[in-house]
């Protein structure tokens, strides 16, 4: 089985987006949020303790490895990444100062990659 890797930035954004979408509600027992929440909280605490340059280095150079993921969790992640793409596209359409072409490109690439993994997952019964 191969490993899935996210940059720390991507991982934090994905889980942070799920947390925002929960809006204080309790996550479903079988959600990817519950699976990854502990790692997210640990990384959040580590990032908060770092100086700005060290924080940036960890966010963009650090990696989070997912050793195993269920199809349901992968689908959740694909949906969240699709939301990130839509949000970035809307920022660009509105000429928002927070619009970032590199972020949009990164999320589109991640979306394409995850959709490919999902297609392989469904066709082959798992990530190989």
Return the closest-CA partner of residue 14 out of 26, 5, 3.
5
pLDDT band at 122 (very low <50, low <70, confident <90, very high): confident
Q: Which residue has the tokens 């990530």?
A: 127
Delimit the domains of the chain by residue range: 4-124
Q: At 1, list the tokens.
A: 């089985």
Can you tell me the mean pLDDT for 109-113? 96
pLDDT at 124: 75
Q: pLDDT (tens digit, 9 = 90+) per residue, 33-48?
A: 999 999 999 999 999 9
Residue 97 has pLDDT above 90, yes or no: yes
Residue 2 predicted with pLDDT over 60: no
61's tokens = 């150079």
Q: How many residues does the chain have?
A: 128
Residue 65 has what pLDDT?
A: 93
């Amino acid at each position: 089985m191969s490993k899935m890797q996210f940059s720390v930035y991507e991982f934090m954004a994905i889980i942070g987006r799920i947390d925002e979408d929960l809006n204080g509600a309790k996550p479903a027992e079988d959600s990817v949020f519950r699976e990854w929440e502990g790692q997210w909280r640990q990384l959040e605490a580590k990032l908060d303790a770092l100086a700005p340059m060290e924080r940036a280095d960890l966010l963009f150079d650090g990696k989070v490895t997912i050793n195993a993921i269920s199809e349901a969790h992968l689908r959740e992640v694909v949906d969240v990444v699709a939301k990130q793409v839509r949000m970035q596209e809307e920022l660009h359409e509105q000429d928002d100062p927070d619009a970032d072409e590199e972020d949009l490109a990164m999320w589109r690439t991640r979306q394409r990659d995850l959709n490919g993994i999902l297609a392989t997952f469904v066709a082959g019964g798992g990530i190989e």
